[in-house]
Amino acid sequence: MPTTIEQVDVKGKRVFLRADFNVPQDDTGAITDDRRIRLTLPTIDSVLDRGGSLVMASHLGRPAGKGFEAEYSLSCVADALRRLSPKLRSLTLVGSRCTDADAARAAATLGAPGAILLENLRFEKAEKKGDPALALALASYADIYCNDAFGASHRSDASMLALPQAMHAMGKRCVAGLLLDREIRYLKGVIDAPRKPFVAIIGGAKVSDKLAALRNLCGRVDVILIGGAMAYTFLRAQGMATGASLVQAEMIDEAQAILRLATSKGTRIELPTDHLCGRALEGGTPTQVCAGSIPDGWMGLDIGPASRASFCKAVRAARTIVWPGPVGVFEMEPFHEGTFTLAQAIAQATSAGATSVAGGGDTAAAVEKAGFAERFSHISTGGGASLEILEGKSFECLAALDS
């Protein structure tokens, strides 16, 4: 495990905090979910309360990397930080780029305790390229590097990998933030040392997105519950009629291989036996519950009531539950029922002593929308990163931290 920020002396030192403030926004630019910002506050407090100062940095969205773009500015993040933390009431967003003269000067003159926020790292094209020159420039800003950006930890961007490598070369400490430490402990813990029975709920649209995770989980988990649109590729692989449901025809052979692998590894895969179907993926579409085969002209958009009962039964018997991917189109009523019912069942299992981990992205949004986020053991802030851990991958940027 990496050394954490709380294990190093920060008094009188500048800490470069690589956070993940890549938050969702509406059409006006307003933040619609500030969870990633809120969950970084313990790391921020740890540094400021112990007399350190913070040079904070993050990316936001996908700017072109050609300099400042107003729609991708971190000004909304700066406003949120000032609102959420009394310690950051005077926070300054500096510069128009993270390496311009204003940013460099602000970092060099930063007193302790104090904090500044750099502009969007991806305004620099060199960030996505992992450029060592950009890393060297950023390394001059601080005495300690702190990675608290789990959601970007599967990437080799300059601020994620080249920067800690550069700071190590200068003899500086490189540590994990408290959020990153929590993410690793929960996600690696459920894979490497789960309490049994271990149940995984795998949802989402495409088998191809979850193929590596499914392979890695076979033999590790006792039961895999498959929902979402990807279930229809598996059902088609078993010869079931799926109507107009989304099917990845090119993945049918892979689905059959996963079913065989699970059997050989002693993992039971459970697929939906009934479905809440609609004529079209739109609000107000006619609906019906289809047991078994789905008729032509109908598409499965959620698991049906019998499948909900069966899935929930498996969840309530589990001691470890990991859940990457909703089991239906939860954003649209009435196709939210399967996902919300499972969220409630997992919350109940957690209250009874189970360990529950929800992936980031859509799964985190679904659990939040269902109102059970506070009752899960852990909800990841990184959809792609959490999935790669479930795939058994390791991250270079974590290896670059002190351990």
Do 47 and 119 reside in the same domain of the chain?
A: yes
Read off the pTM: 0.89
Do 226 and 367 reside in the same domain of the chain?
A: yes
pLDDT for residue 190: 85
| Alpha-carbon gap, residue 156 to 134, rounded angstroms | 13
Do 87 and 218 reside in the same domain of the chain?
A: no
Provide the number of structural domains found in the chain.
2
Do 367 and 281 reside in the same domain of the chain?
A: yes
Dmax (CA) of the chain? 69
370: phi > 0 → left, psi -120 to 50 → alpha, else beta; which? alpha
pLDDT for residue 393: 86
Is 403 inside a domain boundary?
no
List the structure tokens of 131.
């450029």
Is 213 inside a domain boundary?
yes
Domain boundary among the residues 138, 156, 182 is at: 182
Do 175 and 210 reside in the same domain of the chain?
A: no
Residues labelled catalytic: 36, 206, 361, 384
Is 398 inside a domain boundary?
no
Do 129 and 9 reside in the same domain of the chain?
A: yes
pLDDT for residue 369: 92
Is 332 inside a domain boundary?
yes
CB-CB neighbours of 82 under 10 Å: 17
* pLDDT tens digit at each of 403 positions of the chain: 899 999 999 999 999 999 999 999 998 999 998 999 999 999 999 999 999 999 999 999 999 999 999 999 999 999 999 999 999 999 999 999 999 999 999 999 999 899 999 999 999 999 999 999 999 999 999 999 999 999 999 999 999 999 999 999 999 999 999 999 999 999 988 888 899 999 999 998 888 889 999 999 999 999 999 999 999 999 999 999 999 999 999 999 999 999 999 999 999 999 999 999 999 999 899 999 999 999 999 999 999 999 999 999 999 999 999 999 999 999 999 999 999 999 999 999 999 999 999 987 889 999 999 999 999 999 999 888 888 888 888 899 999 999 8
Do 236 and 162 reside in the same domain of the chain?
A: no
Do 152 and 9 reside in the same domain of the chain?
A: yes
Domain boundary among the residues 182, 211, 246 is at: 182
pLDDT for residue 274: 97
Do 270 and 169 reside in the same domain of the chain?
A: no
Is 189 inside a domain boundary?
no
The range of the structural domain enclosing residue 300 comes to: 194-390
pLDDT for residue 332: 93
What SS3 class is residue 376?
A: coil
Runs of H (alpha helix) within 50-161: 75-84, 101-108, 125-128, 132-139
Do 223 and 154 reside in the same domain of the chain?
A: no
Domain boundary among the residues 141, 159, 182 is at: 182
Do 147 and 234 reside in the same domain of the chain?
A: no
Pairing state of beta strands 173-176 and 378-379? unpaired
| Alpha-carbon gap, residue 50 to 175, rounded angstroms | 16
**Is the Cα dihedral 67, 112, 172, 181 positive or negative?**
negative
Do 234 and 368 reside in the same domain of the chain?
A: yes
Is 188 inside a domain boundary?
no
CATH of the domain at 16: 3.40.50.1260
